[in-house]
Amino acid sequence: MRAVLHVCTTCRGTVPDPVPDAAGTDAARTDAPGPDVPRLGARLHDLLSRTAPDGVEIRPVECLSACSQGCSVALSAPGKWSYVYGRLTLDDAADILSGARAYAGTADGIVPWRERPAVFRKQSLARIPPHTLSQE
């Protein structure tokens, strides 16, 4: 069974959401992308989708609920531990793909610490146990 790299396409990256000004309207932002520019998460998904590693399906998702952590991705596969990573940028694409490839090659989803890319060692937001049908 293939590993799935879920990429949040609604992530805005490190640009925080607009803050209401004193009048209660969204303040003008010069650093926020315009309405015609895809969000950073969607751009990260597009970049990662171009070179999916063998054994990895790259799937867009609308939200991973890690909004305060910049761009986020999650790795999962049946019977394996799942992981959520955040604070990612387009510059991390090669490391994300490398980490996804290593994850896909494991039986349980646990890649040895030293074999993980730095972004996977330092930017892990959650580790989720494998789902089992029976609780022991």
CATH of the domain at 50: 3.40.30
Whether residue 27 lies inside any domain: the answer is no
Q: How many domains does the chain have?
A: 1
Provide the whole-model pTM.
0.81
Give the model's pLDDT for residue 26.
46
**Nearest to residue 89, comparing CAs of 116, 59, 118, 65?**
118
Per-residue pLDDT of the chain (136 residues; tens, 9 = 90+): 799 999 999 988 764 444 455 655 544 434 455 666 789 999 999 999 999 999 999 999 999 999 999 999 999 999 999 999 999 999 999 999 999 999 999 999 999 999 999 999 999 999 999 987 665 5
Q: Half-sphere exposure of 45 toward its Cβ, with a 13 Å CA cutoff?
A: 24
Decide if 68 contacts 109 (C-beta within 8 A). Answer: no
Whether residue 51 lies inside any domain: the answer is yes
Q: Which domain holds residue 117?
A: 3-15+33-128
**Which residues, 6 or more positions from 25, have their beta carbon under 8 angstroms from its beta carbon?**
none
Whether residue 23 lies inside any domain: the answer is no
**Which residues, 6 or more positions from 16, have their beta carbon under 8 angstroms from its beta carbon?**
none
